[in-house]
Chains A and B, each alone.
Chain A
Amino acid sequence: MLKQRPLLIETLTAIGLIVAPFVLPHLGFAPNTVNRILVWGLFGLGFDILFGFTGLLSFGQSAFYGTGGFVAAYLLTRAGFSNVLGALIIGMIAAAATGYLIGLIALRRTGIYFAMITVAIAEVFFFVEFNPLSDFTGGENGLPGVPTPSFNLGFTTIHFTNGWSLYQFIALCYFIGVIIALRIVRSPVGAILSAIRDNPLRATAVGHNIHGYKLTAFVIAAAYAGFAGGLLGVLQAFMPPDAFTFDTSGQLVMQTAIGGRGTLFGPLVGATVWLFLQDFLQSALGLGAAWKLVLGVVFVLLVCFLRGGIVGGLVDLYGLMSGKRPRKAAETEQAEVEMPRQAPPAPMHAKEVEHPVYSGPILKATGLTKRYGGLVANSDIDFSVDHGELRGIIGPNGAGKSTFFKMLTCEVAPTSGQIMFEGRDITGLKVTEVCQLGLTKSYQVNQLFTGLTVRQNLTIAALAELRGKFRLDLFRSLAGVKGLTEQVEHTLALVNLTRRADTPVSELAYGEKRRLEIGLALATSPRLLLLDEPLAGMSPRERVETVKLLKSIARGRTMIIIDHDMDSLFELVERVTVLQEGRVLVSGTPEEIKTNAAVQEAYLGGVHGEIAA
């Protein structure tokens, strides 16, 4: 849908908006209906950024729609403010500010809690509008008498009165709204928002402050809602109290889902279907009140069977017809592995070290302990890794290896103990901050952005390194991020996925996903890379490939690797630390470990058989 062809969608939108007044009347659309659709469409642009792109389903958008609408209408009807556009913008700012405050509360939780909280907060606004603020909002009366916009250009004054005349104004607003929304979803922030939708955990782990970005999306949605609310008042000459009701939020959600989430134009399509059916079923078929039942059934069916809504369905259909994207995951993988590798890519360098004077161990953990209730996962671990070292960690299942890694990357806080990274105490920092410092890991179980392509996955990781954990470059295009393309291409080459760059993750073979998993960690240019079982689940041939890959990554970088495949591991690393029952059993070179009696004992005592391999 949103291909990166420059200005194509913008041009099509403009053409559509210009043609609409000539075509739609013949289809039975009155100008007022069209204007109403555009207001819903504009309202939905922001909501789609929040729901479709960021994955936050809010049932409380009416709060912002109403806030923007009533602030604008109040200024225009009661406060003697005469500049309509100015009032709309002030309304929008008020809604955005409200959105910021509400976001601080609502975004404390995710998923179902978030949905419930937004419903409840929207209801608060409804009751506040009706009671404490009824002197300003007119309560049940609403605010009648909202004027239409006019612009004094010096030599003449333009009035947008009603019908198609007002359409020009609203269509222009919608067009600007579309342009801004497109810029946002194509910006680095837009890419990160989709990452949050797909996998918030990994988006955090690669070094993005997702709370900040979620709040950003929330505020953007509120701003769109506020402006649309103001337009509603202008359109109707009346700011209705109903703008604040739960029904308004519900209608927006339904229209977006019907039209297609994550498409920006879905809400517009949904609103068209909604208002058309409302008209058509009521007047043409004489169904009266049953129209909403029909819509409800349509909605349920779409949610059940066509998750992408109408626009999503059309895009899929187009894809199917044009024969693009043939599914060929497994075979390609085979072929690719067989193929001799072209000239190996140059090693990728780690991020510049900030304090070159520091020359001690890159990582030093002392007395690291983690308890879960009565269960001790790690107990009093002392651990140190030098610059440029390749360290292996082995241990039977349940030895606490993964917990140990999670503490090192600050995913879980240790119960006691201290972690120093490059001489800096990182105990208690957040995983995002640690990643920004240059320490990250690849996961034992793939944590990919499954809805995106390989290239997009790596882009998101690389953005964290290039832009820091939070930055509001909403209007910068991805291409404008310096060094991004190079870094993504380089990582693609390193993990041997260049040929699969534009394949969606869901179509990758398992081995490719594993390589991408490593690539995600790598794209953040860490100085210390932790790999949690990078070889797990791979065929012997894939293992050979991956070991080669790891070797090439290791140049100029410190790495710690957990794995059960000791042959591969011992070939790769310089030193090995053995964990058992949450403690360090022994450390030494691979040779020493192989012959260590205690290690033999630990493994024979365990159930894992791979020691024999």
Chain B
Amino acid sequence: MTDDLIRRGLSRRGLLQTTAGLVGGSMLPAMPAFAEDKPAIGSYPAGVSGSTAFIGISVPRTGTYAVQGEDELKGYQLAIEHINEGHELIKKISPKTSKGVLGKELKFGVADSAAKPNEAVQAQQRFISENKAIMITGGTSSAVAVALNKLAQREHVLFVCGISGSNDTTGKDCVRYGVRQNFFGQTAAAAIGPVMVREFGKGKKAAYLTPDYTYGHTVTKSMQDFLATAGWTTVTNQVAPLGAPDYSSYLLNVANSGADVLINVNWGHDAVLSTQQAKQFGVLDKMKLVVPYQVPFIARETGGLMQGVYAATDYWWTIEDKFPLAKMFNEAFEKKYGYKPEWGAENAYVSFAHWAHMCEQAGSFNPPDVIKAYEKGETIPSLVGDVHYRPEDHQCIRPVIIVKGKQQKDMKNKEDWYDVVEIVPGEGLMQKPDAFGCHLGDYT
């Protein structure tokens, strides 16, 4: 055993000298010895020394993102089930998988993050220290994702990001120990922007409703930057805290701003409430609504207010006509849960499948090896065609799907909320790897 243990040994002795044994430094619970030849790092190999591997999952189950969090959790559970049983769909994405990952059965723990970084960090610290989690996941709030990024880097446990739309997650707050599958502010803006310019024209006035954290700030920034190239101006940007109970004063400002288009960046229940209230305050009659980062279930929850509204998303189930893997996923998901999956579940499923793929490729759970497997940038399947992870910032390069809310009369069934307008390939949407200030940090 190597550096790590030696350092621990030294620290013990040093502490004895400084505190004269006051705190009992010399008698720390002993580190278990491992037979593997890889150095111990993070929860490796302690977490995979038995026949199972543990995943710590923190999703919001209460608060403003609860609905989306529950959906995301279903995607994780389905993926774990499929991986453990060696389901056909998993084998399409990760051909080397037989049952489990590297023969280990996956176990998991779920904690409610309430979309609060503090809750998520506390829960994941518990999963890491008590359950020796080999991988952690969670999101549905980029603030959570960023906090878990940093925790993962410090604890040397891989973080496979859940829903997170902020540019910072794989930008200025990127880490070596974090990877992200889903689309984000920059790619959303680059994909939906041209559609908006085509549809509404150049030189329009836009009003923004922005949630006050990294996701909102960066998505709004990306939208503003892109639309500025088509001569659009921002007449007002209403920044509201997460979980605001009432949007009346924000919406009055929007209503009196003279904007042509309302770009609602709010998410989760905030998006539902602000859209409903926008209707109540007459805002939707004055201007067009655009949702640049689609919110799962918003069409159903707003009761038809998404009709004719453009949105960018990671996944919409009707693309199954074009992508056979999507069809398999939709069927498996609907069979288990009784409804069509939204993109939170899709992202959860695919990111786990990709992780399983990378572990199998690396032939080990050893985090640096798994990370290097991601960094090879190998082209791998997803539900929306082939994708790859960019080594410089660990962002998956994948298409963005532009949808438009259907009129009620055109809906073929009760879940047929959107028309798929366009599937925009990922390569052209991405910023330069260093544009958002990403420095990945060390492997150890």
Chain B hits for A175, CB < 8 A:
22-23
B126 within 8 A of A: yes
Chain B hits for A153, CB < 8 A:
14, 17-18
Chain A hits for B117, CB < 8 A:
141-142, 144, 238, 240-242
B24 touches A139 (CB 8 A): no
Which residue of A162, A165, A237 contacts B121 across the interface (Cβ within 8 Å)?
Answer: A237
Among A17, A148, A163, chain B packs the most CB atoms within 10 A around the CB of A163
* In the complex with contacts A139-B212, A142-B147, A144-B151, A240-B121 CB distance below 8 A: yes
How long is the Cα–Cα vector from A520 to B22 in the complex, in angstroms? 43
Chain A hits for B150, CB < 8 A:
144-145, 237-238
A159 within 8 A of B: yes
Which residue of B7, B22, B241, B242 contacts A18 across the interface (Cβ within 8 Å)?
Answer: B22
B27 within 8 A of A: yes
B22 touches A172 (CB 8 A): yes
B118 within 8 A of A: yes
CB-contacts of A149-175 with B (<8 A): 151, 153, 156-160, 162-165, 167-168, 171-172, 175
How long is the Cα–Cα vector from A33 to B128 in the complex, in angstroms? 12
Encode B3-30 as 1/0 by CB contact (under 8 A) with A: 0000110110111011101111101110
Chain B hits for A237, CB < 8 A:
121, 150-151, 154-155
CB-contacts of A76-131 with B (<8 A): 130-131
B442 within 8 A of A: no
* In the complex with contacts A159-B11, A172-B22, A140-B151 CB distance below 8 A: no
Encode B165-207 as 1/0 by CB contact (under 8 A) with A: 0000000010000000000000000000000000000000000
Inter-chain contact count A-B, CB under 8 Å?
Answer: 132
Chain A hits for B21, CB < 8 A:
18
> Nearest chain B CB to A237's CB is how many angstroms away?
4
B116 within 8 A of A: yes
CB-contacts of B209-226 with A (<8 A): 211-214
Tally of contact residues, B, Cβ under 8 A: 46
How long is the Cα–Cα vector from A173 to B17 in the complex, in angstroms? 17
B146 touches A21 (CB 8 A): no
A238 touches B151 (CB 8 A): yes
B14 touches A144 (CB 8 A): no
Chain B hits for A19, CB < 8 A:
24
CB-contacts of B247-278 with A (<8 A): none
Encode B123-134 as 1/0 by CB contact (under 8 A) with A: 001100110000
B229 within 8 A of A: no
Tally of contact residues, A, Cβ under 8 A: 48
CB-contacts of A388-405 with B (<8 A): none
A21 touches B29 (CB 8 A): yes
A238 touches B129 (CB 8 A): no
B129 touches A21 (CB 8 A): no
* In the complex with contacts A14-B22, A21-B27, A134-B212, A30-B129 CB distance below 8 A: yes
A165 touches B29 (CB 8 A): no
A236 touches B125 (CB 8 A): yes
Q: Considering only CB atoms, which chain A residue lies closest to B21 in the complex?
A: A18
Chain A hits for B11, CB < 8 A:
158-160, 165
B149 touches A144 (CB 8 A): yes
Which residue of B7, B27, B126, B212 contacts A22 across the interface (Cβ within 8 Å)?
Answer: B27
CB-contacts of A237-255 with B (<8 A): 237-238, 240-243
How long is the Cα–Cα vector from A158 to B9 in the complex, in angstroms? 10
B212 touches A140 (CB 8 A): yes
Chain B hits for A156, CB < 8 A:
10, 13-14
> Nearest chain A CB to B14's CB is how many angstroms away?
4
> Nearest chain B CB to A252's CB is how many angstroms away?
15
A18 touches B155 (CB 8 A): no
How long is the Cα–Cα vector from A151 to B214 in the complex, in angstroms? 33
A240 touches B118 (CB 8 A): yes
A446 within 8 A of B: no
How long is the Cα–Cα vector from A36 to B125 in the complex, in angstroms? 11
B295 within 8 A of A: no
Q: Considering only CB atoms, which chain A residue lies closest to B125 in the complex?
A: A32
How long is the Cα–Cα vector from A160 to B155 in the complex, in angstroms? 13
How long is the Cα–Cα vector from A593 to B129 in the complex, in angstroms? 87
* In the complex with contacts A141-B213, A238-B121, A162-B155 CB distance below 8 A: yes
A142 touches B118 (CB 8 A): yes
Among A142, A148, A162, chain B packs the most CB atoms within 10 A around the CB of A142
A468 within 8 A of B: no
B384 within 8 A of A: no
B28 touches A241 (CB 8 A): no
Chain A hits for B28, CB < 8 A:
21, 164-165
> Nearest chain B CB to A31's CB is how many angstroms away?
6
How long is the Cα–Cα vector from A273 to B151 in the complex, in angstroms? 27
How long is the Cα–Cα vector from A186 to B23 in the complex, in angstroms? 25
B129 touches A162 (CB 8 A): yes
A25 within 8 A of B: yes
Chain A hits for B7, CB < 8 A:
159
B24 touches A17 (CB 8 A): yes
Q: Considering only CB atoms, which chain A residue lies closest to B13 in the complex?
A: A156
Encode A16-51 as 1/0 by CB contact (under 8 A) with B: 011111100100001111001000000000000000
Q: Considering only CB atoms, which chain B residue lies closest to A140 in the complex?
A: B213
How long is the Cα–Cα vector from A164 to B29 in the complex, in angstroms? 8
A141 touches B214 (CB 8 A): yes
Chain B hits for A158, CB < 8 A:
10-11, 14-15, 18
B143 within 8 A of A: yes
Which residue of B8, B116, B149, B242 contacts A240 across the interface (Cβ within 8 Å)?
Answer: B116
Chain A hits for B29, CB < 8 A:
21-22, 25, 164
A236 touches B121 (CB 8 A): yes
> Nearest chain B CB to A214's CB is how many angstroms away?
32
How long is the Cα–Cα vector from A30 to B127 in the complex, in angstroms? 10
B51 within 8 A of A: no
Chain A hits for B241, CB < 8 A:
130, 140
How long is the Cα–Cα vector from A175 to B143 in the complex, in angstroms? 34
B379 within 8 A of A: no
> Nearest chain A CB to B18's CB is how many angstroms away?
7
How long is the Cα–Cα vector from A241 to B142 in the complex, in angstroms? 14
* Interface contacts beyond A30-B130, A238-B121: sample of 14 additional A-B pairs, CB < 8 Å, sorted by A: A141-B142, A141-B146, A141-B213, A144-B146, A144-B173, A145-B154, A153-B18, A159-B11, A163-B129, A168-B19, A172-B23, A237-B150, A237-B155, A240-B121
Could you tell me which B residues sit within 8 Å of A by CB distance? 7-8, 10-11, 13-15, 17-19, 21-25, 27-29, 62, 116-119, 121-122, 125-126, 129-130, 142-143, 146-147, 149-151, 153-155, 173, 211-214, 241-242
3 A-B pairs closest in CB distance = A240-B118, A140-B213, A144-B150
Could you tell me which A residues sit within 8 Å of B by CB distance? 14, 17-22, 25, 30-33, 36, 130-131, 134, 139-142, 144-145, 147-148, 151, 153, 156-160, 162-165, 167-168, 171-172, 175, 236-238, 240-243, 289
Give 30 A-B contacts (CB < 8 Å), ordered by A residue.
Answer: A18-B22, A18-B24, A19-B24, A20-B24, A21-B27, A21-B29, A30-B126, A31-B129, A33-B126, A36-B122, A130-B241, A134-B212, A140-B213, A141-B143, A142-B117, A145-B153, A145-B154, A156-B14, A158-B10, A158-B15, A163-B129, A172-B23, A236-B121, A236-B125, A238-B121, A240-B121, A241-B143, A242-B117, A242-B119, A289-B62
